[in-house]
Chains A and B, each alone.
Chain A
Amino acid sequence: MPDSSSTSFIPKRNPAQNEKRAGRRKVYIGTFIVRTLFFAALVGTVSVYAYEQKLKSTLDREVFSLNNSISKFDEAKMDKVLTFDARLAQVNFRLEHTASIVKLLNAIENSTVGSVKINQFNLERNNDTDFAITASIVTDSFDAALFQRRVLENDDFLAVKEISDLALTTTPPAGPLFSEIEGAGTEELEIGFKATISISLDKVPHTAAGTIETLPAVEIAPASADASGNMIDEVLSSEPEDVNQEIL
């Protein structure tokens, strides 16, 4: 008779197989990674969302704060201050480029030798840089002319650009522009030349102290000759001196 257990339709248990199945729990690395990745993505999403919201809130506060600061800005006050500042800057600019013509004339006087006459004096201010001066100078001898040229060329204050239009003329003495030269007989020897001079504005700045200094010199001798002896009208009206004798 066959064994009833082998004929039963109920599957038989293999005791060894049961023991093996109960003790084995498989951990799949792929499943672990996928689950970790999935939960990390969820956590990351929430964190990033929360952080973004926080930053947006901070940005809103900063924008509000900036707008608040901007609203405190007073444009009218700013215009007023800028206008005032610009005006001050312009005044400062003008003051920095102010020059004294009186000082300049004094400098010319100081470099004009006694026997020299200035017939015509022209001055032009070139923007805010320098003065261009042209002086028509007349003297009675070549020695005086040479000496005058040397004085002008050696003057640190004046920059002589050109000495030109040298002319020798013999004319009869007439008119206030000319002076008699002693010993010249009835004719007058005239040596004329034109000096083109440049003076930087920096060298003749106008200062209150400078003006005060020049005023006494102006008031002392309205018409008469004084010790300086080289002012233009004095030179024009006085008898010419022998420069060479004075200098040599």
Chain B
Amino acid sequence: MIFNSFFTQIVMAVLAVGILYFYVHPTFTNIGVIQDSIMQYQAEKEKVDGVNERLVDLNSRMESIPPESNQALMTYLPEEVDQMSVSRDILTMTEEANVYLESIRYDKTTPRPTDKDNNFIRHNFSMSVSGTYEDIKLFLSKLEQNNYPLEVSKLSISVGEDSLMKADMNVVTYSYTNTI
């Protein structure tokens, strides 16, 4: 029989080794790669699904915030600061506190080192007020109670005319800048 011939057996052996080496082995390697890919895709899909679920959850929470709270947030950190409105608010506070607003000026502000990590822009207002010490304190407390931040970054109190005190101060407010 032809199958029993030595030559045939050599050919069969060579074929078997060839098949194992040139097809089965690379295919096994490829199977490993495909299995890894499948696991990676499954993991990524889980992540994406997780993000989608989280997004839906956060969005629903965001939409459940009352409009007035949302408005308060926007007022506290607006996207733009209207220097005229801020100046008017400060003038109103000085009137309520019975201090005299001598001057107010909007200064362009240089960012502080800590600002680079933050998404806000500082807006600086320089002003001078005069009045009694108590009235100046009342004015400062009104600044603190404002519905958007008016932080005193510099304050110099000295005695002015007629035993009134003069306070020169820098007040900072912030606007939000979207860098996302």
Main SS of chain B's interface residues?
helix
Q: Provide the A33-68 mask, 1 if CB < 8 A to any CB of B, else 0.
A: 011011011101100110110011011001101100
- Measured as residues with beta carbon below 8 angstroms from the partner, the interface class of chain A is 35 or more
Assess the B144–A101 pair: CB atoms within 8 A: yes
Q: Which of B102-143 contact A (CB under 8 A)?
A: 112-114, 118-120, 132-135, 137-138, 140-141, 143
Assess the A125–B31 pair: CB atoms within 8 A: no
Q: Which of A38, A58, A81 contacts B12 (CB 8 A)?
A: A38
Q: Which of A69, A94, A122 contacts B45 (CB 8 A)?
A: A69
Shortest distance between the CB of B127 and any CB in chain A (Å): 14
Q: Provide the B33-60 mask, 1 if CB < 8 A to any CB of A, else 0.
A: 0110110011011001101100100110
Q: Which of B31, B98, B114 contacts A52 (CB 8 A)?
A: B31
C-alpha spacing A118/B134, complex, angstroms: 15
Assess the B45–A51 pair: CB atoms within 8 A: no
Q: Which residues of A contact B145 (CB under 8 A)?
A: 208, 211
Q: Which of B15, B28, B114 contacts A38 (CB 8 A)?
A: B15
**24 pairs across A/B with beta carbons < 8 Å?**
A34-B9, A38-B12, A41-B16, A45-B19, A51-B31, A59-B34, A62-B45, A72-B52, A80-B59, A82-B180, A86-B180, A88-B73, A101-B140, A102-B144, A105-B140, A120-B156, A121-B155, A121-B158, A122-B155, A122-B156, A211-B145, A218-B138, A233-B133, A233-B134
Q: Which of B34, B112, B158 contacts A56 (CB 8 A)?
A: B34
Q: Which residues of A contact B59 (CB under 8 A)?
A: 77, 80-81
C-alpha spacing A122/B19, complex, angstroms: 89
Q: Which residues of B contact A35 (CB under 8 A)?
A: 9, 12
Q: Which residue of chain A has its CB nearest to the CB of B76?
A: A91
